[in-house]
Amino acid sequence: MASTKKVQELKKRREEVQRGGGEKAIQKQVAMGKMTARERIVKLLDEGSFNEYDLFVEHEARDFGMDQKTLHGDGVITGTGTIGGRPVCIFAQDFTVAGGSLGNMHARKITKIMDHSLKMRMPLIGINDSGGARIQEGVNSLAGYGEIFFRNTLASGVIPQISVILGPCAGGAVYSPALTDFVFVVENISKMFITGPEVIKTVLGEDISMEELGGARVHSEITGNAHFFSETEDECFEQIKSLLSYLPWSNTDVPARKELKDPLKKYNISHIVPADKKQPYDVRNVIRSVTDSSDFFEIQESWAANIVIGFGTMGGRTVGFVANQPLILAGVLDVDSSDKAGRFIRYCDAFNIPIITFVDLPGYLPGVDQEHAGVIRHGAKVLYAYSEATVPKITLILRKAYGGGYIAMNSRHLRADFVFAWPDAEVAVMGPEGATNIIFRKEIATAADPEKMRKQKVQEYKEKFANPYVAAAKGYIDSVIEPWETRKSLLHALEVSGEKSVGMPAKKHGIPPF
Ligand code: HXC
C-alpha cells in the first residue's frame, strides 16, 4: 500500500498541475465566455468517466527564457472516457497555459492519444483552443503539427475523428481539423484562419476582425469548413453526443441500433411534394416522413443548402441521406453542393452506412462563375463518390431527374442497388421547355402560330419523355411506387441489402478529382 506521505504528494502535484495557467489566466478565459479545457472534457464525457494521461508532462524548451517557465501539462489535457457508455479518446488544448500553443511535448501528448484511439479503434475528439505553433520552440512545433496531420490521415476512414473549435485555431493548426471528419464551431468563440488580421493588414492593407475573417458563421455558411454550428459550448457538446449516436466506432463496426417509433403523422408524405414541377418544397420533410420517429440529424445545414445531407434512422439503423433541396436554387448541383455530397458519400461508404438518395433537380448550375470555379472538376466528385461506394445505395426519384443530374444522383449506371420513382418523376436529358426550344426550333419558327406550335411540341415531349416509364422500361428504374409506399419500399430495400458484397478491381487507391 502506498505511504500516506506519498499519496499526499501525488494529490498536491495533481492539484497544482490541474490549476493550468493559474487563476488570472482562468479568469481571462471565463471573461471571454469560454469554459476551461478541463470543464469542457468533464461536460462532454459521461460523468466521472475521464481517465487522464500524461498529466505530469512538461515542456523541454530552453530558449527565449523558456527554461525559467513551468507549463502545466504543457498546455493540453489528454485521456480516455466514455460518451453514452462507449469509449472515446479526447484531447483539449488549455489556452490558460501559454495560449494553448503547440510545442514538442504538447504535440507528443496529442499524438500519443491519437495512436491510442487508432490502435483501440475508438473515436478521437480534439478540442482546439490555441495560439498555434509555439514560437519559442521553432521547428519542433512545426514537426509536431506534421506528426498530427500524418496521424489524422492514417486514421481517416478507420475511426471517427471530430474537431471542436473553441477558441483560436490559427495558421497551420487549422489543417488537423480540416483533415478530420466533422468540425464543430460555436458563435463568438471559434476563430479559424490561415493568416490572421494582422498579416492581412500588413500585406494587403485591409482591416478585418477575427470574427469576420474566420468566425463560426463564416465557416458554417461561407467556407463549409464547419459541419455544425451552435450558440453555446453546452449546445455544441449535445450536438457531438447526437452525432456519435449515429456512428460506428470504427470501419469494421456497425452503428448501434436505435429503437424509435414509427414516422410522426405530421409529415404526410403524399402532400409534401407539389405536383407543379416549378413549385419548391422542403425535401427535409420527405426525409422526416420516411425515418423512424421522423429522425433526421442534418450536417452542414447552412452551407451549400441546395443539397441536404445527414443521418437518420430507419428500422433502427443509421442511414445517410443525400437529397436535392428544391427550396434553394431549385436543388441544382454546383461546386459547393458537389463537394458537400461527395465527401459525405465517401464518409458513409467508409463507415458501413447505407445511403438513400432523393432526386429532384434540373441538373448542374449553368453560368460562367460556375464553369470558372471548376464545376467540371467538383461535379466529378459526386460521380466518383457514388461509383466507388460499395455500401447499399438506394435512390428515389421524386420529380425531376434531368441530364447530368440524373446520372450523378446515384443512378443505376453508377451502380445504385435499388432505384424507385414516384409517378410524377421525369427522367430526361433536359426539361420539356428547354428541349422543345432546341429540337423543334425550325418547326416553331416556321409555324403559322409559333406559340401554339411550341405548346403542342412541349406536350408531345412531355408525353414521350417526361415520365418515369421510359427509364422503367429499360430497367434503369426498378419500381414506380406511390408516395405512401415509400417507407415500406425503402425499408425493404435496406433489409434485403444487409449482406451486400461487391468486389472492386485491385488497386493501391483511386485518383478522385479532389
Ligand atoms: C507562444 C503564445 C502563442 C504562440 C499565444 N501565446 N500564442 N506563445 N507561441 N503561438 C501566449 C501569449 O504570449 C500569452 O502568453 C498567452 O499565450 C495568451 O496570449 P494572448 O495574446 O495574451 O491572448 P489573446 O489576446 O486572447 O490573443 C490570442 C491570439 C494571440 C489571437 C491567439 O495570442 C496570437 O495572435 N497569437 C499568435 C498566433 C499565431 O500567429 N500563431 C502562429 C501561427 S503560425 P503570456 O505569457 O503573456 O500569458 C503556425 C504555423 C504552424 O501556427 C504551421 C503548421 C504546419
Secondary structure letter of residue 71 according to DSSP: -
Report, at the CATH architecture level, how domain 269-428+467-496 is classified: Alpha-Beta Complex (3.90)
Task: Find the helix packing angle between 139-155 and 104-119, rounded to 10°.
Answer: 10
Beta bridge partners of 162: 125, 182
Provide the 3-class DSSP secondary structure of residue 363.
coil
Cα separation values, 41 from 89, 237, 277, 308, Å: 11, 10, 50, 31
**Same topology between domain 13-244 and domain 269-428+467-496:** yes
Phi, psi of 110 (to 5 degrees): -65, -45
Of 135, 147, 152, 213, the residue with max ligand 1 atoms within 8 A of its CB, to mutate for a pocket test, comes to 135
pTM equals 0.96
Provide the 3-class DSSP secondary structure of residue 84.
coil
For 152-183, b/e burial (b = at least 16 CB within 10 A) is beebbbebbbbbbbbbbbbbbbbbbbebbbbb
Is the Cβ–Cβ distance between 321 and 298 less than 8 Å? no
Ligand 1 binding pocket includes 118 (Cβ within 6 Å): no
**What's the pLDDT score for residue 172?**
81
Q: How many CB atoms lie within 10 A of CB 272?
A: 18
Beta bridge partners of 393: 355
Q: What is the pLDDT of residues 117-169, one digit of tens each?
A: 999 999 999 999 999 999 999 999 999 999 999 999 999 999 999 999 999 99
Ligand 1 binding pocket includes 135 (Cβ within 6 Å): yes
Rounded to whole angstroms, how far apart are CA atoms 129 and 92? 8
Ligand 1 binding pocket includes 173 (Cβ within 6 Å): yes
Rounded to whole angstroms, how far apart are CA atoms 481 and 244? 34
Rounded to whole angstroms, how far apart are CA atoms 237 and 41? 10
**Looking at ligand 1, which residue's alpha carbon is closest to its atom 26?**
99
Q: How far is the CA of 132 from the centre of ligand 1 (A)?
A: 6
List the one residue out of 422, 155, 395 whose CA is nearest residue 269.
422
Ligand 1 binding pocket includes 98 (Cβ within 6 Å): yes
**What's the pLDDT score for residue 264?**
64
Q: How far is the CA of 153 from the centre of ligand 1 (A)?
A: 26
What residues contact 70, with CB distance under 8 A and at least 6 apart? Answer: 58
Rounded to whole angstroms, how far apart are CA atoms 254 and 257? 9
Q: How many CB atoms lie within 10 A of CB 264?
A: 13
**Looking at ligand 1, which residue's alpha carbon is closest to its atom 1?**
134
Which triple of cell numbers denotes residue 384? 466518383
Q: How many CB atoms lie within 10 A of CB 475?
A: 9
Closest-lying ligand 1 atom to the alpha carbon of residue 100: 17
Report, at the CATH architecture level, how domain 13-244 is classified: Alpha-Beta Complex (3.90)
Ligand 1 binding pocket includes 75 (Cβ within 6 Å): no
**Looking at ligand 1, which residue's alpha carbon is closest to its atom 45?**
98
Ligand 1 binding pocket includes 21 (Cβ within 6 Å): no
DSSP secondary structure letters along 381-421: HHHHHHHH--S-EEEEEEEEEEHHHHHHTT-GGGT-SEEEE
Q: How far is the CA of 179 from the centre of ligand 1 (A)?
A: 22
Ligand 1 binding pocket includes 375 (Cβ within 6 Å): no
Ligand 1 binding pocket includes 171 (Cβ within 6 Å): yes
Rounded to whole angstroms, how far apart are CA atoms 279 and 271? 13
Ligand 1 binding pocket includes 310 (Cβ within 6 Å): no
Phi, psi of 206 (to 5 degrees): -105, 140
Q: How far is the CA of 169 from the centre of ligand 1 (A)?
A: 10
**What's the pLDDT score for residue 265?**
63
* H or E stretch at 387: helix 375-388
Rounded to whole angstroms, how far apart are CA atoms 440 and 443? 5
Of 66, 68, 101, 150, the residue with max ligand 1 atoms within 8 A of its CB, to mutate for a pocket test, comes to 101
Ligand 1 binding pocket includes 134 (Cβ within 6 Å): yes
**Looking at ligand 1, which residue's alpha carbon is closest to its atom 54?**
172
Q: What are the strands, taking DSSP E only, across 75-148?
A: 76-83, 86-93, 124-130
Burial class (CB in 10 A: 0-12, 13-18, 19+), 255: buried
**What's the pLDDT score for residue 295?**
95
Single-letter code of the amino acid located at 388:
E
**What's the pLDDT score for residue 357?**
98
Which triple of cell numbers denotes residue 273? 411534394
Task: List the chain domain ranges.
Answer: 13-244, 269-428+467-496, 432-465
Closest-lying ligand 1 atom to the alpha carbon of residue 145: 54
**Looking at ligand 1, which residue's alpha carbon is closest to its atom 41?**
132
Ligand 1 binding pocket includes 100 (Cβ within 6 Å): no
In which residue ranges of the chain is pLDDT below 50? none
**What's the pLDDT score for residue 464?**
87
Cα angle: 72, vertex 239, 243; to 5 degrees: 105
Cα separation values, 508 from 157, 159, 291, Å: 15, 20, 37
Ligand 1 binding pocket includes 101 (Cβ within 6 Å): yes
Is the Cβ–Cβ distance between 78 and 91 less than 8 Å? yes
